[in-house]
């Protein structure tokens, strides 16, 4: 994985595979405290403590769960290389939260990458799942909530090509503005 937006796509897809109807993604960039935090929360089926204990070990997971183990362990490795870590909390029947921290200015911290492509791929590819994206940087924030879009669109689906393009362009231009500060 070349950048954080691909890791985020990967973990969010895990949540969707786990039957989530709502995925919440938060990216918090605090350059003064030199911290980059990423939180992914889903309301999927969750994991029991036995599975949770081995989910970060790429060599323990079985064939059917291999995908989960590998993706999360790669993300954890990326976090640790940037002076941070990845932790997971999960409750069966309630959902899973993945929390990642990194030192923002660390030379080995992967770049954010293209969040517009990641969010559009998630929304367009899974139009029945709702997604909330919050990106904060030093006090400013951008929020995308598909529940609001859905209410406004009424019977036009979220994966309609025009809607997907609108979402993509809005995320792209808003995040560009957010990064300029």
Positions in the binding site for other proteins (CB under 8 A):
1, 6, 9-10, 13, 17, 67, 70-71, 74, 114, 117-118, 120-121, 124-127, 140-144, 149, 152-157, 159-168, 170, 173-174, 177-178
Is 21 or 170 the residue whose CB approaches other proteins more closely? 170
Is 102 or 167 the residue whose CB approaches other proteins more closely? 167
Q: Minimal distance in Å, beta carbon 122 to other proteins?
A: 8
Is 105 or 169 the residue whose CB approaches other proteins more closely? 169
Both tokens of 111, joined, read: 């770049």
- Left if phi > 0, otherwise alpha if psi is -120 to 50, otherwise beta: which for 93? left
Is 32 or 180 the residue whose CB approaches other proteins more closely? 180
Is 105 or 160 the residue whose CB approaches other proteins more closely? 160
Q: Minimal distance in Å, beta carbon 165 to other proteins?
A: 5
Angle at 34 between CA 4 and CA 10, to 5 degrees: 15
Residue 87 DSSP one-character state: E
First to last CA, the chain: 27
Which H or E run includes 22? strand 22-30
Q: Minimal distance in Å, beta carbon 155 to other proteins?
A: 7
Q: Minimal distance in Å, beta carbon 157 to other proteins?
A: 6
Q: Minimal distance in Å, beta carbon 7 to other proteins?
A: 9
Note whether 98 and 72 are within 8 A (CB).
Answer: yes
User: For 83, phi and psi rounded to 5 degrees?
Assistant: 65, 30
Task: Say how many C-beta atoms besides its own lie within 10 A of residue 58's C-beta.
Answer: 17
- E strands, 31-118, in order: 35-42, 85-91, 95-103
């Amino acid at each position: 994985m070349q950048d954080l937006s691909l890791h985020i796509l990967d973990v969010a897809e895990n949540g969707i595979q786990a039957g989530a109807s709502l995925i919440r993604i938060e990216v918090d960039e605090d350059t003064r405290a030199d911290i980059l935090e990423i939180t992914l929360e889903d309301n999927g089926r969750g994991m029991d403590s036995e599975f949770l204990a081995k989910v970060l070990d790429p060599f323990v997971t079985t064939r059917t769960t291999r995908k989960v183990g590998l993706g999360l362990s790669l993300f954890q490795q990326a976090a640790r290389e940037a002076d941070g870590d990845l932790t997971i909390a999960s409750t069966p029947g309630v959902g899973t939260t993945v929390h990642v921290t990194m030192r923002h200015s660390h030379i080995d911290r992967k770049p954010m990458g293209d969040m517009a492509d990641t969010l559009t791929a998630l929304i367009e590819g899974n139009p029945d799942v709702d997604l909330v994206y919050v990106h904060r940087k030093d006090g400013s924030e951008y929020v995308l909530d598909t529940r609001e879009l859905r209410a406004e669109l009424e019977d036009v689906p979220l994966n309609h090509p025009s809607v997907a393009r609108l979402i993509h362009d809005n995320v792209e231009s808003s995040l560009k503005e957010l990064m300029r500060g």
